[in-house]
Copies of this chain bind each other. A is one copy, B any other.
Amino acid sequence: MLEEKIESLPLVDHHCHGVVRRGLDRAAFEALLTEADAGGGPDGGLFDSRIGFAVRRWCAPVLDLPAHAEPDDYLARRAELGAAEVNRRFLRAAGLAALCVDTGHTPEPLLEPAELGCLAGAPAHEILRLETLAEEVVFDGVSASAFAAEVRARLEARAPRAAGVKSIAAYRAGLELSGERPSGEEVAKAAGRLLRDTERGLAGCDAPPRVRDEVLHRFLVWCACDLGLPIQFHAGYGDADADLRRCDPLLLTGLLRELARKDVPVMLLHNYPFHRNAGYLAQVFPNVFVDVSLAVHNLGDRAWAVLAELMELAPFGKVLFASDAYGLPELYHLGALLFRRGLGRVLAEGVAEGSWTERDAARVAEMIASGNARRAYRLGDRP
């Protein structure tokens, strides 16, 4: 009853990405399936893992195949339908009420937010990636002393069309950012270093500028804070480029303490396997929101377990849904479906234990599915 209701709840996906436009063979599909650098590997490869089995179980029927279809059959049917149709089916199947799309990572052409929204039948908002914006400023040419003002100006110009911003400090300098707002002089010096590194072409190869300076990450966060924009932080689980130890959200404690004095929502993304730490931060800091995106679809039917752990300390008004889907449209569907199943299980177990009433559980489910995100991002006020 409760679980059925939850299985049809529209979700606000507060952190997701574009999907690819091209068709995919098995190697290319597996390469996008998880955070591994390469797909495949020994034996059944990534299909012999929770996410692989989840694709066979839950995605195959969306492509008119029986549940548990064999991987090669799945990929053949996928090729037969073509990328456009596959994208259409999975975005629609996800049952989304709104999307907040991080547009800052596009190593290849991906569907734009408007296209995603169109397929999903729901409004799509943009999340600006702070480091990408700063790198564009450098790429377009700027002096060290003018860097800060130019970044502020561009962010301000783009802010009205953005639902929030995202910091990928975790992937670069790590999350151990101090709580202090850097001085203008510090920012100019750091910008100077970035400009010199960029000129040098980063050791000869034609690499684009990359923000990886603790001072600049902090500066960008404070710029967003000054504009009142919700701030997303990558935390925890991601690909092998990051050093996972430097992605523990507890490393942000000092900065979160300062941001709590402003009235700016902070969203800690992913968090696995530090999701209990994230739940603690959501309890003690009034402006911190948390999710277990990315982990949800990677964990398949274990999603309930990490959701239950997140919801140990995190107040239910601070828990969000996100798919963190990237590349494969399947991840929109899996993220949404497995989240609903996991949340349904956690809340239904509470009803069975007598921890809360079914009425309260249904109310909490709606908060987590969409209400919390609407409130935190003020989606109701947006066009």
Contacts and interface: CB of A to CB of B under 8 A. Distances in A.
Given A68-B356, A273-B276, A317-B43, A283 B53 contact: no
A54 B355 contact: yes
Contacts of A276: 272-273
Given A34-B283, A43-B367, A250 B240 contact: no
A360 B53 contact: yes
Contacts of A38: 286
A124 to B, nearest CB: 24
A132 interface: no
A284 interface: yes
A36 interface: yes
A141 interface: no
Nearest to A286: B41
**Copies of this chain, count:** 3
A312 interface: yes
A37 B240 contact: no
A250 B257 contact: no
A45 interface: yes
A299 interface: yes
Interface residues of A toward B: which range?
35 or more
A308 B302 contact: yes
Interface string A343-383: 00000001001111100100010010001100110000000
A42 interface: yes
Contact of A67 (B309, B350, B354): B354
A50 B302 contact: no
B248 A286 contact: no
B367 A284 contact: no
Contacts of A306: 312
A237 B281 CA distance: 10
A111 B359 CA distance: 38
A49 B367 contact: no
A301 B350 contact: yes
A250 B240 CA distance: 11
Given A48-B316, A283-B34, A375-B42, A356 B57 contact: yes
B41 A301 contact: no
Given A36-B286, A38-B286, 10 more contacts: A41-B286, A42-B376, A43-B317, A43-B371, A44-B317, A48-B315, A52-B315, A53-B355, A53-B356, A244-B250
Q: Which 3 A-B pairs have the closest CB atoms?
A: A273-B276, A240-B284, A49-B315
